[in-house]
Amino acid sequence: MPLDRLVLHGLRNLQPVDFEPVSRVNLITGENGSGKTSLLEGIHILGMGRSFRTRNMRHVIAHEGEELLVHGRLAGEPPIPFGVRRRRSEGELEIRLAGERVGRLASLVETLPLQLINPDAFRLLEGSPAGRREFLDWGVFHVKHDFLEAWQRARRALKHRNALLRHGRMSDASLTAWEHELVHWSERIDAMRGAWVEAFLPVFEETLAGLLPLEGLRLRYTRGWDRRRSLAEVLRQGRDVDRQMGFTQQGPQRADLAIRLGKRPAIEVLSRGQQKLVVSAMKLAQGRLLEASTGRRCVYLIDDLPAELDASHRRLFCRWLENMRCQVFITSIEPDALADLWRADTPLAMFHVKRSAAGSGELLPRERQIS
């Protein structure tokens, strides 16, 4: 379900925004520093409870302001209002969903499945496994309702095991107990991740073929511990080394998606542009699989697409988004770089963020064509 209303208050330099109705494709242009990325950041906070630019939400609150408020409404019968508020004076995010106060961030994530494509996202292949695990777990989370619990329990067991490795005795019975717990939940996690990857691969391969034919590109899931041994065995036999290191060396916290071209890691052979297309295909495939398995569509946030993809790939990429009928927010510095990429019957709205002399940004509609 798409957003049909979006309200932003107290977000960085942006003047209050109340955007209604929100179109399927929303193109946002504006000069550097006008507030385009901030607008995407606001939607990201609405869907994820956090910014993609900073860990410190105080940085997102307008300098002179006391609080940040982001509110959205999902189209549907009935429409679902939801939102978050963050006061400068308080550490916590206040989350509301359908009129109720909720405590779990996961409720936001469930409500608004988001995919972000920005320069950091394009580093998915070269960066640490943490980013790829996050990508993987996003997919699993949205299709398996018990994934979050398994993940939280495994993390808790891992924390206790690590604490005992550092401070406890080797013979400690509680070490065995926590290992038992860790093994149980890790096996659940591994089974869910493995099943998700199996469903993901054909969708990814098809999407990639439509963007950039790359013979021999393979994506493989590695579970995070020795392939030939059970985790119980790995943990038992690894106690000495783990104790010296002060933490658990193997387990689902080390899972990864290995991406190779032929025999080599893809990152060693692909050009920067090719890497971006592989990441684009991964992100599109994530949304396609979500729809195929749950009937829900992602909202895509895409920051400065013209700076990232060349004209012909930009066109192919937008064609995928259009065929997926996903709601999209795309920013660009150049006013017209994105306007002619869409079919005439695609609901499209164009906005311009105007930067005032004092630095504030005002979101204004440009000529609009909604069919």
Ligand X SMILES: Nc1ncnc2c1ncn2[C@@H]1O[C@H](COP(=O)(O)OP(=O)(O)O)[C@@H](O)[C@H]1O
Choices 28-36, 85-93, 198-206, 245-253; region in contact with ligand X by CB under 6 A? 28-36
Q: How many residues bind ligand X (CB under 6 A)?
A: 15
Q: Which residue's CB is nearer to Mg ion, number 37 or number 51? A: 37
Residue 32 binds which of ligand X, Mg ion, none (CB < 5-8 A, kind-dependent): ligand X
Query: Smallest distance from the beta carbon of 118 to Mg ion, in angstroms?
Result: 8
Establish if 145 lies at the interface with ligand X (CB under 6 A): no
Neighbours of 18 (CB within 10 A): 11
Q: Which residues of 86-110 are buried (b: 16+ CB within 10 A; e: fewer)?
A: bbeeeeebebbbeeeeeeeeebbbb
| Three-state DSSP class for residue 356 | coil
| 287 annotated to bind ligand | no
From the list Mg ion, ligand X, none, pick the one residue 12 interacts with, judged by a Cβ distance below 5 to 8 Å according to partner type. ligand X
The reply to whether 34 sits in an annotated binding site is: yes
DSSP state string for 149-161: HHHHHHHHHHHHH
35 known member of a binding site: yes
33 marked as binding residue? yes
CB of 53 to Mg ion, least distance (A): 10
Q: Which of 29, 38, 248, 332 binds ligand X (CB under 6 A)?
A: 38
Residue 257: Cβ within 10 Å count = 20
> Does residue 33 belong to the site contacting ligand X (CB under 6 A)?
yes
Restricted to residues 232-291, the positions that interact with ligand X (CB under 6 A) are none
CB-based burial, 184-205: b 16+ in 10 Å, e otherwise: ebbbbbbebbeebbeebbebbb
- Beta carbon nearer to ligand X, 57 or 212: 57
Instruction: Sort residue 23 into left (φ over 0), alpha (ψ -120 to 50) or beta.
Output: beta
Residues with Cβ within 8 Å of 340's Cβ and at least 6 positions away in sequence, in order, are none
Quick one: 53 or 85, whose CB is closer to Mg ion? 53
207 labeled part of a ligand binding site: no
**CB neighbours of 244 closer than 8 A, spacing ≥ 6?**
none
**Which stretches does DSSP call E strand in 132-268?**
217-222, 256-261, 264-265
Residues 57-76 that bind ligand X (CB under 6 A): 59, 61-63
Give 37 or 286: the residue with its C-beta nearer to Mg ion: 37
Whole-angstrom distance, CA of residue 313 vs CA of residue 269: 20
How far apart (Å, rounded) are the C-alpha atoms in residues 231 and 30?
Answer: 52
* Least distance CB 212 / Mg ion (angstroms): 25
Of residues 301-360, those binding ligand X (CB under 6 A): 359
Which of 321, 330, 299, 288 shows the shortest CA–CA distance to 47?
299
H/E/C letters for each residue in 264-324? EEHHHHCCHHHHHHHHHHHHHHHHHHHHHHHCCCCEEEECCHHHHCCHHHHHHHHHHHHHH
Structure tokens at 159: 């924390």
Give, as one character, the DSSP assignment of residue 254. G
> Minimum CB separation from Mg ion for residue 330, in Å?
12
Place of tokens 């985790």: 231
Only segment of 26-34, 163-171, 256-264, 306-314 that touches ligand X (CB under 6 A): 26-34
- Give contact residues for Mg ion (rule: CB under 5 A): 37
Does position 30 bind ligand X by CB under 6 A? yes
Residue 356 sits at the vertex; the CA angle it makes with 57 and 32, to the nearest 5 degrees, is 65
* Residue 118, binding choice from ligand X, Mg ion, none, Cβ under 5 to 8 Å by partner class: none
Among 12, 87, 142, 193, indicate the residue that binds ligand X (CB under 6 A). 12
Q: Which is nearer to ligand X, 84 or 158 (CB)?
A: 84
Contact between 42 and ligand X (CB under 6 A)? no
47 labelled as ligand-binding?
no
> Could you tell which of Mg ion, ligand X, none binds residue 175, using a CB distance below 5 to 8 A set by kind?
none
For residue 330, the minimal CB distance to ligand X (Å) is: 12
Consult the annotation and say whether 30 binds a ligand: yes
- 283 among annotated binding-site residues: no
Binding residues for ATP: 30-37
Q: Would you tell me which residues interact with ligand X (CB under 6 A)?
A: 12-13, 30, 32-38, 59, 61-63, 359
